Structure 1
Amino acid sequence: MNGLDFAVDAFLRERTMTRGSSNRTVEAYGRDLEALVNFLGQTSVVDVKAIRPSHLRSFMAGELERGLAKSSLARRLSCYRSFFDFLIREGELEVNPARALSLPKQPKPVPSFYYPEEVKALLESISGTDLWSLRDRALLEFLYAAGVRVSECVGLDVSDVSLQEGTALVFGKGGKERYVVVGHKAIESMVRYLDARSAHVFVDSNGKVAAQALFVNRRGGRLTDRSVRRILDLHIRRVAGLSHISPHALRHSFATHLLDGGADLRVVQELLGHASLSTTQIYTHTSRDRLAQVYHQAHPRA
């Protein structure tokens, strides 16, 4: 497995077949490794055993000079560590050269989110009774109520949701399953949407009934991440003073509002499907910022 290209192919196959990484993640690994292989090729390094920490430092320094963001550098270094760990498991290396490098320090951005009154204004602006208005209301209500990732939401089938119990089974990163809670407002919107949808028979290009995706497009196919962004943008434009943010910000709003309401951090971690508590803790900073803002606006001597 000495050839770099062969080693990269083996690593990507392992990520797909054994680790269950998503296609998007594997594609990102492929791009990061391709950039490194191209650099090493220019220095005549073609054997994985010949790669040294100095090679990686030179490569990363060059990428930083070319303007690559520190967050992207950190992601690349994480990829390279995983790649060389794989080669160690395969018996090709004894030492991981990427472990000699430190991840670049970077400020943690505060997640963008809506305040509760803004979420309410957004959702209540969708008041149409046609199928697609009902779908849009149910979609955004569900995203905010359950706090799921957009990719998890569009991957749901009707059978994954129990409206009677107020729960949904979602499939998260790495193929992990978890149950999320769906509030009564979202359930009411979803009942109206599914009732209206039951009057439609969607068929694919072969004349067969389309798959039972929970949220469908006008042809009966499954919505995509991009479709959800377009739907959110459409309705944001209809609410005066509402800033444009991504659909993922509804997930940020979900977590922030739960913590503001006194929810336990570990409960929020479980609902979000975070593997690490530290990932969830960023929302405590957001909550403190909100408290400070309210204080300075309301206190007469602030």
Structure 2
Amino acid sequence: MVLEEKWPVLGRHNEAARWLRIWTDLGRAPRTIDAYARGLAEYLDRCERKGVDPVGATREHIAGHVRELSTRPSRRGANVVSIDSGSGLSNATIQQRLVPVRLFYDFLIEEGLRESNPVGRGRYTPGRRFGGHQRGLVPRLTRLPWIPTEAQWTAILQVAANEPIRNRVMLALAYDAALRREELCSLRTDDLDPAHRTLRVRAETTKGRRERIVPYSATAGVLLSSYLAHRASLTRARGGLFLSESHRNYAQPLTLWSWSKIVRRIALGAGVPRFSTHTTRHLCLTDLARAGWEIHEIAIFAGHRHTDSTIQYIHLSGRELADKLQKGMQQIHAWRIRQLAQLGGQAPEARS
């Protein structure tokens, strides 16, 4: 396996290699397999360093792995966990690294090599207090997604204005249709419907494997028309919509990594380093909520199976929530005053 070449520790553990091979044969996305391999290899490497047989590992060994993840120096530098922290991975990253370890032990249980899973998972248990929810091994922290301020967004647009037409239309569609990075880069020429200003997001390119049709604005349509004319100068062949113009990959579909580098360059040029390829999706869904869209409508637009996922993407500031509360309270206040006025106009006998 190519994964064993990248992470040799996987080749030294037959059950781990077999588990990954099964997931690969089941057609899981290459990036998912790669993430699983990385997380599991990281855990197996620690087991080897500590002289622990992973098949017989206990919850104590898993806890030690979690502690190492949360305290070791990060390659990205300081301030990973919190403002005053100089070490450790973020909570979300630790959760992500534990997923393949937990699934690996599920596989060992199915194979009859273990009786229990030392990682465990948060689950509903009838009869327990506080709603019957048993907490997972690592508490899950849910933070609000970051979105740029109006000034930051303006700075990003000013830098993007000097970008080639391809990059500008990609940024426009990423926001307009709330596209994930892979959905955007995987668009093909036959996914477009210019007559109705819609595009098709194919199931195989989505995170939830659900196809959807999404609209884009007239402004994005003008940019797209200009880009299609430019694309025709590169090639007239159908296929990937957004093409590379580098000498090495000329007229080949633009890769995810190339788009990430482009967005990173724009972010640094605008002085907004937190801006990423996923920020436009957060911003679009938040703007839809601000415009009064119902949560289930936003979920359909975003391609979410459940509205719980949609809620995590929407960022409403405290001021916006306060405005909604004030408006709602004004209506209730007016209703109560009307009731008092009606009671004041009744005859004494009616009120007694």
Q: 2:252 aligns with which of 221, 230, 252?
A: 221
Counterpart-to-counterpart distance in 1, 2:268 and 2:47? 48
Match of 2:143 among 106, 109, 114: 109
Cα distance change, pair 146–32 in 1 and its aligned pair in 2 (3 A): same
Of residues 164, 172, 184 in structure 1, which corresponds to 2:218?
184
Q: Distance in 2 between matches of 1:27 and 1:212?
A: 26
Once the 2 structures are TM-superposed, how far is the Cα of residue 47 of structure 1 from its aligned partner?
Answer: 6.0
Between the aligned partners of 1:68 and 1:121, the Cα distance in structure 2 is 32
Deviations 1:200-236 (A, max 9, x none): 143xxxxxx7662111121211112333234345555
1:68 maps to a residue whose letter is: G
The aligned amino acid for 1:114 is P
2:267–2:276 contact (8 Å) kept in structure 1: no
The verdict on how the C-alpha distance between 1:243 and 1:89 changes in structure 2, with shifts beyond 3 A counting, is same
Give the one of 8, 32, 39 matched to 2:39. Answer: 32
Distance 1:124 1:39 in 2: 47
Residue type of the partner of 1:246? Answer: S
Residue 85 of structure 1, CA deviation: 1.7
Q: Displacement of 1:33 after TM fit?
A: 1.2
Query: 5+ residue gaps in structure 2?
Result: 1-10, 73-86, 122-134, 325-352
Q: Which residue does 1:279 correspond to in 2? A: 309
Q: How many residues are treated as equivalent by the alignment?
A: 278
- Partner AA of 2:272 in structure 1: S
Alignment equivalent of 1:262, drawn from 278, 292, 308:
292
Number of the residue aligned with 1:59: 65
> 1:104 is matched by which residue type in structure 2?
V
Q: Once the 2 structures are TM-superposed, how far is the Cα of residue 193 of structure 1 from its aligned partner?
A: 1.3
Distance 1:238 1:290 in 2: 29
Query: Residue 279 of structure 1: CA displacement?
Result: 2.3
Opposite residue 12 of structure 1, the aligned amino acid is: L
Equivalent residue number for residue 272 of structure 2 = 243
| 1:1-302 equivalences in 2 (<5 Å) | 5-18=13-26, 20-46=27-53, 48=55, 50-66=56-72, 67-69=87-89, 70-99=91-120, 102-115=136-149, 119=153, 122-123=156-157, 133-170=164-201, 171-173=205-207, 175-198=209-232, 200-202=233-235, 212-218=239-245, 219-233=250-264, 235=266, 243-244=272-273, 245-284=275-314, 286-289=315-318, 291=320
The CA deviation at 1:61 is 2.6
Q: CA deviation at 1:136?
A: 2.3
TM-score by length of 1: 0.78
User: RMSD of the alignment, in Å?
Assistant: 3.2
TM-score w.r.t. the length of structure 2 is 0.68
Structure of greater Rg: 2
Q: CA deviation at 1:38?
A: 2.4
Higher normalized contact order (CA 8 Å, seq sep 6+, divided by chain length)? 1
Long gaps (5+) in structure 1:
203-208, 296-302
1:37 Cα deviation (Å)?
A: 1.6
Counterpart CA distance in 2 for 1:251 and 1:8 is 35
- 8 Å contact from structure 1 (residues 160, 168) kept in 2: yes
